[in-house]
Chains A and B, each alone.
Chain A
Amino acid sequence: MAVKLMQGNEAIALGAVAAGCRFYAGYPITPSTEVAEVLSRELPKVGGKFIQMEDEIASMAAIIGASVGGLKSMTATSGPGFSLMQENIGYAAMTEIPCVVVDVQRLGPSTGQPTAASQGDVMQARWGTHGDHPIIALSPISVRQSFDLTIKAFDLSEKFRTPVILLTDEIIGHMREPVELPDFKTIRSEEYRVTAPGQEYIPFRNESGDVPPLANFGVGYRYHITGLYHDQVGFPTQRLDEIDPWLERVNTKLDKHLDEIALVEEDYQDGAKVALLSYGCSARTARHALKLARAQGKKVDMLTLFTIWPFPERQVEALGERVDRIIVPEMNLGQLAYEVERMAGRKKVRRVVRANGEMVTPQMVLEAMEG
Chain B
Amino acid sequence: MTAKLSPRTEIRLAGEGGQGMILAGIILAEAAAIYDGKNAVQTQSYGPEARGGASKAEVVIASGEIDHPEVLNADVVVALSQEAFKKFASSVKPGGLLIVDEEKVDSTSAPQAIRIPVTKMAFETTGTVALGVLVGLTGVVSREAIEKAVTARAPRGTEEMNHKALDAGFTAAEKARK
Which residues of A line the B interface, CB within 8 A? 3-5, 30, 114-116, 171, 174-178, 281, 284-285, 287-288, 291, 359, 361-363
Interface residues of B in 15-53 (CB under 8 A from A): 26, 29-30, 33-34, 39-48
B33's contact among A178, A361, A362, A363, by CB below 8 Å, is which? A178
Closest Cβ neighbor of A114 among chain B residues: B48
Contacts of B48 in A (CB 8 A): 30, 114-115
Query: A171 touching B43 by the CB < 8 A rule?
Result: yes
- Judged by DSSP, the binding face of A is mixed
Query: B43 touching A5 by the CB < 8 A rule?
Result: no
B175 at the interface (CB under 8 A from A): no
Known: A177-B66, A178-B39, A287-B67. 11 other contacts (CB 8 A): A5-B29, A5-B30, A115-B45, A115-B46, A171-B70, A175-B41, A176-B42, A177-B42, A178-B33, A284-B68, A285-B67
Which residues of B line the A interface, CB within 8 A? 26, 29-30, 33-34, 39-48, 66-70, 72
Nearest-neighbour CB distance to chain B for A224, whole angstroms, equals 45
Query: A171 touching B34 by the CB < 8 A rule?
Result: no
Query: B34 touching A178 by the CB < 8 A rule?
Result: yes
Inter-chain CA distance A174–B66, complex, in Å, is 16
Query: B47 touching A291 by the CB < 8 A rule?
Result: no
Closest Cβ neighbor of B27 among chain A residues: A5
Query: A288 touching B40 by the CB < 8 A rule?
Result: no
Query: A288 touching B41 by the CB < 8 A rule?
Result: no
Inter-chain CA distance A244–B44, complex, in Å, is 51
Inter-chain CA distance A175–B48, complex, in Å, is 18
Q: List 28 A-B contacts (CB under 8 A).
A: A3-B33, A5-B30, A5-B33, A5-B34, A5-B42, A115-B46, A115-B48, A116-B45, A171-B43, A171-B69, A174-B43, A174-B44, A175-B43, A175-B69, A176-B26, A176-B29, A176-B41, A177-B42, A177-B66, A178-B39, A178-B40, A284-B67, A285-B67, A291-B67, A359-B70, A361-B68, A362-B72, A363-B72
Query: A361 touching B72 by the CB < 8 A rule?
Result: yes
Query: A285 touching B40 by the CB < 8 A rule?
Result: no
Closest Cβ neighbor of B37 among chain A residues: A3
Query: A281 touching B72 by the CB < 8 A rule?
Result: no
Inter-chain CA distance A177–B25, complex, in Å, is 12
Nearest-neighbour CB distance to chain B for A140, whole angstroms, equals 13
Contacts of B41 in A (CB 8 A): 175-177
Inter-chain CA distance A61–B35, complex, in Å, is 45
Contacts of B42 in A (CB 8 A): 5, 175-177
Query: With A4-B34, A175-B42 known to touch, is A285 a contact of B68 (CB < 8 Å)?
Result: yes
